[in-house]
Amino acid sequence: MTNTQVIQNWTLMRVPSKLGDKRDVVYKVVKNGARLFQEIRDVERNLIQTLELPPSAPLERSCFEVLLRHALVDVAAAEM
């Protein structure tokens, strides 16, 4: 991505799963022009998923973390 602005730099988060275990991930949020992206990686920095966020998404950590949890649930379901 060129001409990007970091909205939230790499942030470590422990995400609980429905199975009772937890998964450590890091994520960052960047803006590229009018588009927002959330990049999610494991702690070894392997890409899990990149989400394009809706333009109306609040630029708040709590919003980013809710979206991250939903994305990880989708990724886990796809892996089963």
Q: How big is the chain by its Cα radius of gyration, in Å?
A: 13
Residues paired with residue 53 on neighbouring β-strands, in sequence order: 36
How far apart CA 39 and CA 30 sit, in angstroms, is: 8
Q: Please state the separation of Cα 5 from the chain's center in Å.
A: 16
Per-residue pLDDT of the chain in tens (80 residues, 90 and over written 9): 468 899 999 999 888 766 667 788 899 999 998 899 999 998 999 998 898 988 888 788 777 788 777 777 655 544 54
Tokens of 51: 């989400």
pTM of the model: 0.76
Q: Tokens at residue 65, please?
A: 């973390």
